Amino acid sequence: MVTVWMGSANRDETQFDRPDEFVVDRNPNPHLSFGNGIHFCLGAPLARLESKIVLSAVLERLPNLRIDPNATLEFIPSTGVYGIKSLPVLL
Ligand code: HEM
């Protein structure tokens, strides 16, 4: 079985400038989060549209939204899904 390590692929320094930074307007952005090739995610356009709508709405309604600088982040113990369990924010 072959497992893709997405967290590493999407931080490939041969593909991305500043690979460890979240650059929201990165362009081009050859990430592999939606897969690649024949099985590329069929829902990618829907996921992108929904993300755009929800992020715009949240930022419009909560203009002071920011990450709590005192938060202690706990990572999900998984090689498949990279992320944190929760992201405490301040309003
Ligand atoms: C942020 C949200 C999403 C992410 C990160 C994501 C990620 C992925 C990835 C990595 C694959 C490729 C799997 C592989 O190569 O075996 C995939 C396939 C697929 N995704 Fe998504 N997906 C998302 C949302 C959605 C949504 C909203 C739908 C449907 C409404 C969807 C439907 C599918 C389908 C049907 C496939 C299989 C395509 C195929 O095998 O030809 N996905 N997705």
| Residues forming beta bridges with residue 89, ordered by sequence position | 67
Residue nearest to atom 16 of ligand 1 (CA): 39
pTM of model > 0.85: yes
Amino acid symbol at 49: L
Predicted confidence band at 79 (pLDDT cuts at 50, 70, 90)? confident
Q: 46 CB under 6 A from ligand 1? A: yes
Query: Is the per-residue pLDDT at 1 higher than 90?
Result: no
CA 66 vs. chain centroid, Å, equals: 17
Compute the average pLDDT of residues 65-71.
Answer: 95
Share of the chain above pLDDT 70, in %: 100
Cα of 87 vs centre of ligand 1, distance in Å, is 24
| Residue nearest atom 40 of ligand 1, based on CA coordinates | 39
Average pLDDT over residues 32-43: 95
- 74 exposed, middle or buried (CB, 10 Å; 0-12, 13-18, 19+)? exposed
Radius of gyration of the chain (CA): 16
Mutate which of 33, 41, 51, 55 for ligand 1? The one with the most ligand atoms within 8 Å of its CB, which is 41
Q: What is the mean pLDDT of residues 53-57?
A: 96
Per-residue tokens: 26: 């990165």
